[in-house]
Structure 1
């Protein structure tokens, strides 16, 4: 992995005083310090009523100095994140590593409610800075006032990722187990276009991702911002399909081409998948494409990973009281997940089962 130039932008306003906010963020940072290499650098900027540089950019060889700076942070005052973000980006620019991982990491409960201009002003600043090679990752802490949509928007505009940390185990996952994915963007503006063969699929529905949808013409537009992928991360998209009758009409992009009608009629293809992405330092996208063959399998024969993903999707649908709910209640969802727990009995899948159990109990109260 390339050397990292990291600037932590820490919300130390009064709203961060709860144990699951700034104190937890400090614990999480200590975990990260243990992972630092000599070639890495860390700086800490804090903001509340005013912004300040608590730790100048410090090499990973001086871990005691970094830990002392973490220990000094205390919560208090109102939230004014604008000046803090400016100082964080300035610090990152002053210690920019060519070809390295230059990143501001914002830790907050999302309560930008004092002294900051509109969300549009913040996102514009973040977009401008990402073009200079300084990306933004966002970590949300606490509950109640946590503003998930705002933090996700900021991370998206900064070509970074965001995570929600509510306990020490989650902090270990973000800063130890999945550290490369947290800190290193390996592909930016990732776009997927999936076209189903109307000779096989009558209707389809993408499960989730409503806030990620693009217009058809945006796929080939390299100026259109899209999502980022961290090292080691995977993305799963589930579609619900209704099989087409034998004589379905042909009306599609790939499948209306004369040379492909025979393939469409025979139903040898389920669909056509295209993927565009940019390398972090590039502005021209690369294109990958693959034909999806029409192989249908029973759900019981699917992999544990697929079955577990389906259980997670069903849980989300149930929580939202979606009209697309297929009458899978919490006990049935829990059963599906338990049967697909596979080789991860004590990790994320166990945590998911605990969430389902919590939802069951809340419904029963």
Structure 2
């Protein structure tokens, strides 16, 4: 009998242990309702933990059998809170002053327990793995942020201009920056919305390159969901994925802005947390240096092996903000250090972390561009990670990243840092194809006019496609790039098309052109990382349109992001776009969505939908 009972109990607990985890989310704030960033959230009795982001938000997977979460940070009373049936758990934390006793509050089945602890602030600050350094997030004015103006692409008549050329773009900063505005209850400024960066924020399932190529290309054609009668051309590029064990050694220089403008909790404190995640990915053969700049620039960590993680972490932890911003001097010093430790067959890169507010030294955009272009030619790339709000200078940062053959990301929370430095470590730091260009020739027998959605600041002259000296975008290991054209089919009437006269002196090959079912031809040109000579291949595309429901998840989700971008920009080409259509199409194309980015997108669209009606007139154009 006892044996049967034991077996039954074992079976019961085994089944209970196999129940799936659930995710608890919420916001952590102080007694004044100001969100607190950097709070460590742990599962009582478990190993799972997370940190609250710059808006005080957190998300943590919790085993079914767990009963409570613990919230801890320097300067606040540690709090243990019971997990209820709801998956949303908002917490208010009480501040404590040095010398006071800390009360660890525990709520178990409505029984409140108080554990009296004498806090050791020095020990807490020195042990970030046990305690987080938290800061309440105060409201800030956003009237000094700066964005380059975007003149939206219009429709081009094939009879006048049959060829279009542009550089790829793997930057994602616009999406996370948009998310920051929406999460704060604001519509983003129109010029902060770069639709191609929003589309390319997400991963897509394109085939790996074959036949020794570094890049593959995939196409699909369907009906435009927002402009009846028009077509969408979806183009997907996939860079080859290099195994992490085969990645070349890295010579990285962290260039960190520690000026006074970086003192806010969503700037330097978040920056430290983000770079620590990158440090965890380094290997013994990798070398890292740290240069800081404020009123002046200096080296605080000479080249150090990636194996010496404690030394690197201590250098990061020692950073404090203050002074003006000698950005130009810092960049020069970082490049000098990178050159002195140059790896001929390695990855040589400066990673600049800043809010972009340069105001001392080489501060003109032209001077900085020329400096970065010169260093790029020597094989040292520049990636930029943007932080903060209020005085954020997106216009400055975006231009410098473009000239430096690197990536540009905006880090709005610790989850975004994890995405850039952990999940996409290879793509962020290791280039497999540089100066990637796309050129398309449309067949006038099938296409009357076309419009590239986004990529306004990536346009190239057609003759620059063949010029190997012309800089273009780079693709890292495993990176994908997606582009969407909206097409007016031949013979269709559209209000988007301006009246133009036919060319008088051009040869008319209409009879020959009409014999082919090719809608267009795509040409791809790129360079391998160690070469200055480009590789060229092309792909003819037949006019084979499919209904949206029969298209891949890649196209369906990318088109929903594009439509959302049209709404955010209040585009003159948005047609019948609507938030409801965006949500419905995106929800039907989640795919695996293991990290939850696509489901988060739908939440952002829903939030934006509620904001748009009340705040549309208050937006900055």
Q: TM-score, normalised by structure 2?
A: 0.56
Q: Contact (CA 8 Å) 1:142, 1:166: kept in 2 or not? A: yes
Cα distance, 1:281 vs structure 2: 2.1
Partner SS for 1:61: coil
Higher Rg: 2
1:266 aligns to what? 515
Q: Contact (CA 8 Å) 2:327, 2:363: kept in 1 or not? A: no
1:326 aligns to what? 575
2:373 aligns to what? 127
2:105 aligns to what? none
Alignment of 1:137 with 2:383, yes or no, is yes
1:85 aligns to what? 331
Q: Contact (CA 8 Å) 2:287, 2:305: kept in 1 or not? A: yes
2:405 aligns to what? 159
Partner SS for 2:483: coil
Partner SS for 1:56: strand
Cα distance, 1:48 vs structure 2: 0.5
CA displacement, residues 304-345 of structure 1 (integer Å, 9 cap, x when unaligned): 111110010011111111110122122221222112222216
Cα distance, 1:144 vs structure 2: 2.8
1:243 aligns to what? 489
Distance between the aligned counterparts of 2:596 and 2:394, measured in 1?
24
Alignment of 1:281 with 2:281, yes or no, is no
Alignment of 1:344 with 2:593, yes or no, is yes
Partner SS for 1:115: coil
Partner SS for 1:150: helix
Distance between the aligned counterparts of 1:304 and 1:131, measured in 2?
39
> Alignment partner for residue 563 of structure 2, among 304, 314, 325?
314
Moved more, 108-117 or 209-218: 108-117
Cα distance, 1:203 vs structure 2: 1.1
Distance between the aligned counterparts of 1:257 and 1:290, measured in 2?
24
- Runs of at least 5 residues in structure 1 that lack an aligned partner in the other structure: none
2:221 aligns to what? none
> Alignment partner for residue 9 of structure 1, among 241, 255, 265?
255
Q: Contact (CA 8 Å) 1:80, 1:116: kept in 2 or not? A: yes
Cα distance, 1:225 vs structure 2: 1.3
CA displacement, residues 168-190 of structure 1 (integer Å, 9 cap, x when unaligned): 10000000000111111111111
Distance between the aligned counterparts of 1:23 and 1:13, measured in 2?
13
Distance between the aligned counterparts of 2:544 and 2:396, measured in 1?
41
Partner SS for 1:324: coil
Q: Contact (CA 8 Å) 2:293, 2:326: kept in 1 or not? A: yes
Distance between the aligned counterparts of 1:234 and 1:261, measured in 2?
38
2:539 aligns to what? 290
Higher helix residue share:
1
Q: Contact (CA 8 Å) 2:250, 2:347: kept in 1 or not? A: yes
2:315 aligns to what? 69
Distance between the aligned counterparts of 2:257 and 2:588, measured in 1?
42
Q: Contact (CA 8 Å) 1:200, 1:267: kept in 2 or not? A: no
Distance between the aligned counterparts of 2:432 and 2:463, measured in 1?
24
Distance between the aligned counterparts of 2:331 and 2:263, measured in 1?
20
Distance between the aligned counterparts of 1:201 and 1:72, measured in 2?
60
1:360 aligns to what? 609
Partner SS for 1:238: strand
Distance 1:180 1:261, change over 3 A: farther
| Runs of 4 or more consecutive aligned structure 1 residues displaced over 4 Å after TM superposition | none
Distance between the aligned counterparts of 2:374 and 2:594, measured in 1?
43
Number of residue equivalences: 358
Distance between the aligned counterparts of 2:602 and 2:516, measured in 1?
38
Distance between the aligned counterparts of 1:287 and 1:346, measured in 2?
35
Cα distance, 1:145 vs structure 2: 2.0
> Alignment partner for residue 22 of structure 1, among 247, 268, 276?
268
**RMSD over aligned Cα atoms:** 2.0
Cα distance, 1:82 vs structure 2: 1.0
1:52 aligns to what? 298
Q: Contact (CA 8 Å) 1:108, 1:139: kept in 2 or not? A: yes
Distance between the aligned counterparts of 1:128 and 1:101, measured in 2?
17
Partner SS for 2:612: helix
Q: Which has the higher contact order (CA 8 A, sep 6+)?
A: 2
Q: Contact (CA 8 Å) 2:328, 2:360: kept in 1 or not? A: no
Distance 1:345 1:261, change over 3 A: farther
Distance 1:7 1:138, change over 3 A: same
Q: TM-score, normalised by structure 1?
A: 0.94
Cα distance, 1:44 vs structure 2: 0.4
Cα distance, 1:261 vs structure 2: 5.9
Alignment of 1:221 with 2:431, yes or no, is no
2:445 aligns to what? 199
Alignment of 1:109 with 2:355, yes or no, is yes
Q: Contact (CA 8 Å) 1:14, 1:78: kept in 2 or not? A: yes
Partner SS for 1:49: coil
Distance between the aligned counterparts of 2:533 and 2:355, measured in 1?
35
Q: Contact (CA 8 Å) 1:201, 1:270: kept in 2 or not? A: yes
Distance between the aligned counterparts of 1:217 and 1:98, measured in 2?
32
Partner SS for 1:232: coil
Counterparts in 2 of 1:183-194, with a 5 A limit? Answer: 183-194=429-440
Distance 1:134 1:261, change over 3 A: farther
1:42 aligns to what? 288
Distance between the aligned counterparts of 1:104 and 1:61, measured in 2?
19
Distance between the aligned counterparts of 1:225 and 1:111, measured in 2?
26
